[in-house]
């Protein structure tokens, strides 16, 4: 019993994916249904607590870019699902087939992954900075879901992975600074993304028992489409 209490709890990549996916589905379900009837404290609390999902996804992308056998295929897969997910995302978010005022999260992840891919091809610090800034700006220009914040988070998780304390501080600082321009309520919700650092801190570097990778990719567009279809009668 005493030995069990001293054992450190750790999480594999598959567990992190599961946590992120569950939080994402709860978040989107709450946006679709609960916001119609209660946009007060309970709604805000659920949205805030589930905001950690993107922070975990950003971390998993950094891990994916570090360990994938082919970065080119990895980026092509991300971009393919960005295209596949756009109509479900637009139907869910705007109720229209195509809406270009905001793009789904796969575009964000593709931009961040592309930035890492290009920066790692150069040793010159000024070229790396130029690529990093350009990639973050690209995510903002195309109006990806989390704009430059998401790209910067991925960069932090990738390039500071060997300095854990600095990585956590930098990630928290990005979330804090990006929340400042928002109103108080939205800022507090954004800051709750910091909670995503808790399961990340428990990550043990292993893949764990996992479903085929494409299953996790398909969950995003499929669950958005299902939520839109389920929500149609109450629109």
- Per-residue confidence band for 4, with pLDDT thresholds at 50, 70 and 90: very low
pLDDT per residue as tens digits for the range 200-222: 999 988 888 777 888 999 999 99
206 located within any domain: yes
Q: Give me the pLDDT at residue 43, please.
A: 76
**Which has the higher per-residue pLDDT, 38 or 16?**
16
Q: 158: part of which helix (H) or strand (E)?
A: helix 147-159
The full 3-state SS of 185-230, as one line of letters, equals HHHHHHHHHHHHHHHHHCECCCCCCCCCHHHHHHHHHHHHHHHHHH
Distinct helix (H) and strand (E) counts, the chain: 13, 0
Tokens in use for 147?
């704009």
Specify the pLDDT at position 39: 59
* Residue 91, in any domain of the structure: yes
**Across the chain, what does the average pLDDT equal?**
87
Residue 76 lies in a domain: yes
Helix, strand or coil, per DSSP, at residue 99: coil
**Backbone phi, then psi, for 41, in 5-degree steps?**
-65, -50
Confidence band of 37 (pLDDT split at 50, 70, 90): low
Q: From CA 121, how far away is CA 128, in angstroms rounded?
A: 9
Q: What is the pLDDT of residues 104-128, one digit of tens each?
A: 999 999 999 999 999 999 989 899 9
In a domain, 1, yes or no: no
Whether 205 is covered by a domain: the verdict is yes
Q: Is residue 213 part of a domain?
A: yes
- Tell me the C-alpha distance between 223 and 226, whole Å: 5
3-class SS of residue 65: helix
Closest CA to 16 of 208, 215, 222: 208
**Residue 210: CA count within 13 A, CB half-sphere:** 17
Residue 2 lies in a domain: no
| 3-state SS, residue 135 | helix
Alpha-carbon distances, residue 18 vs 59, 133, 190, 199, 235 (angstroms): 13, 31, 21, 11, 30
pTM: 0.89
Closest by CA to 110, choosing from 90, 128, 85, is: 85
SS3 percent helix, strand, coil of the chain, rounded to 5, is 75, 0, 20
Quick: pLDDT tens for 146-202: 888 899 999 999 999 999 999 999 999 988 887 776 666 666 777 788 899 999 999
Residue span of the structural domain in which 30 resides? 7-234
Residue 11 bridge partners (DSSP): 203
- How many domains does the chain fold into? 1
């Amino acid at each position: 019993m005493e030995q069990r209490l001293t054992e450190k709890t750790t999480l594999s990549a598959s567990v992190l994916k599961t946590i992120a996916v569950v939080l994402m589905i709860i978040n989107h379900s709450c946006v679709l249904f609960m916001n119609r009837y209660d946009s007060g404290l309970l709604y805000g609390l659920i949205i805030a607590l589930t905001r950690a999902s993107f922070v975990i996804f950003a971390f998993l992308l950094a891990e994916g870019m570090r360990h994938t056998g082919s970065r080119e295929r990895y980026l092509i897969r991300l971009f393919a699902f960005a295209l596949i997910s756009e109509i479900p995302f637009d139907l869910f978010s705007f109720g229209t087939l195509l809406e270009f005022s905001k793009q789904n999260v796969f575009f964000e992840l593709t931009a961040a992954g592309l930035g890492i891919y290009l920066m790692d091809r150069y040793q010159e610090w000024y070229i790396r900075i130029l690529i990093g800034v350009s990639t973050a700006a690209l995510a903002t220009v195309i109006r990806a879901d989390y704009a430059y914040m998401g790209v910067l988070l991925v960069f932090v998780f990738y390039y500071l992975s060997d300095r854990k304390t600095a990585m956590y501080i930098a990630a928290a600082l990005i979330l804090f600074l990006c929340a400042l321009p928002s109103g108080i309520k939205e800022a507090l919700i954004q800051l709750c993304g910091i909670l995503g650092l808790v399961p990340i801190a428990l990550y043990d570097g292993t893949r764990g028992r996992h479903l085929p990778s494409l299953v996790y990719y398909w969950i995003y567009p499929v669950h958005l489409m299902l939520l839109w279809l389920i929500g149609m009668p109450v629109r």
